[in-house]
Every structure is written in C-alpha cells, then in structure tokens.
Amino acid sequence: MAIENLTATTLRNIIGDMELDETLTSREIINTRMRASLDVATDPWGIKVTRVELKNITPPAAIREAMEKQMKAERERREAILKAEGEKKSAVLVAEGRKESMILQAEADKQAVILKAEAEREKMIKEAEGRAQAILKEQEANAESIKLIREAGADDAVLTLKSLEAFKAAANGKATKIIIPSEIQGIAGLVSSLKGIAEDAPEKEEA
C-alpha cells in the first residue's frame, strides 16, 4: 500500500510539471522519471524497482472537454495560418506575374521601336543609293554619248549643242537661272545667227 500511495503521489507530481497534451504523448518519459523516483524512495525498504509501466491516463470529463477545445482551437489556428500563407504566396505570384508581363511588354515595345527605326533607316539608305545610282547611270550615258559623237568626228559646234541639250535636261524646266560657260554662249550666238540668215534668205528671193 505504501508503494501504491508513493506511486500515485509521484505520478501526480510528474504530470503536474507537464502540459496536459504532453502527458498523452510522453509515456516513456513519465515511466523513466517514475522508476527513478520510486527506486530511490523504496531503497530503504529493501525493494528494487526495475520497471514502471504507465498503462493509461484517463483525465476527468471537464479536462477532456477542455483538451478537445484546445486541440480544436489549435487546428483552427494552424488552418488560418496555412490559409494566410497560401493567400500571401498567391498574391506574391500574381504580382510577380504582372511584373514579368510588364517587363516583357516593355521589352517587346522597345524592340519594335528599334526595328521600325532600323527599317526606316534602311529604307532611306536604299532610296539614296537608288537615286545615286540613277544619277551615275545618267552621267555615264551622257559621257558615253559625247564619246561616241567625238569618235564619229563631230566638230566643236556639235559638241557644244549637245552640251546645251545637257544643260536643258539639267534645268528640267524648274531652274530659274542657269550659268552657261562663255564658250557655249558664243557657239549658241553663232547658231542663232545662222538660223537668222537662213530665215532671211527666202525673203530676199521673194523680193
């Protein structure tokens, strides 16, 4: 009976130092502490305690109800924490997705502007090259024409007339003032005089 009373007292002391929910999950700890305490207390009686086994703990109804409420509150708390963490992660992912989308859109717009500018520049270069090629071809054609006229034995007057035609083409009906070399002006005057003489000759014959 003394050992039973000592065991009950020791058990109450051990459980009193623990949380209520710990008592249901710490049987090995309780067994070890009880064995050590009982062995020391029963040693003067000539008794050696080698093993203590706690079979079951049955708390009163009020304590069980309180434990159930505590466990329910703990589950609800963990559920709320998990829900809040889930919502937080979801908001972070949505924000990161928006940020990534805006960055990609900005990069796409920038690339489009760059490509458009490069296309415009390439177009202007091609058009300028085309105009330059056309002018070069025209000049080569004029040079070739004059070369052929020289090879055909044309005199300076014919060459000068061809030069006048080149000036006329250069003016293209848009120029308001054209500077003509004096040599060409002299030949042009000669041509006009010859034309006047040719027009006067028929009048004299009629007279």
User: Is 41 within the bounds of a domain?
Assistant: yes
Last residue of a domain, one of 43, 58, 73: 58
pLDDT greater than 90 at residue 82: yes
What is the extent of the structural domain holding 48? 1-58
- Residue 83 has a pLDDT of 93
- Residue 93 has a pLDDT of 92
User: Is 11 within the bounds of a domain?
Assistant: yes
Give how many domains the chain has, as a whole number: 2
User: Is 79 within the bounds of a domain?
Assistant: no
pLDDT greater than 80 at residue 101: yes
Considering the entire predicted model, what is its pTM? 0.35
Q: What is the tens place of the pLDDT at every residue in 3-39?
A: 888 888 888 888 878 777 777 777 888 888 888 988 8
The arithmetic mean of pLDDT across residues 124-140, rounded, is: 86
DSSP secondary structure string, the chain? -HHHHHHHHHHHHHHHTS-HHHHTT-HHHHHHHHHHHHHHHHGGGT--------------HHHHHHHHHHHHHHHHHHHHHHHHHHHHHHHHHHHHHHHHHHHHHHHHHHHHHHHHHHHHHHHHHHHHHHHHHHHHHHHHHHHHHHHHHHHTT--HHHHHHHHHHHHHHHHTTT-S-----HHHHHHHHHHHHHHHHHHHHHHHHH-
User: Is 95 within the bounds of a domain?
Assistant: no
If you average pLDDT over every residue of the chain, what do you get?
A: 76
The arithmetic mean of pLDDT across residues 178-200, rounded, is: 48
The percent of residues in the chain predicted with pLDDT above 70, rounded, is 70
In this prediction, residue 196 has a pLDDT band, given cuts at 50, 70 and 90, of very low
- Residue 191 has a pLDDT of 46
pLDDT greater than 60 at residue 188: no
pLDDT greater than 60 at residue 187: no
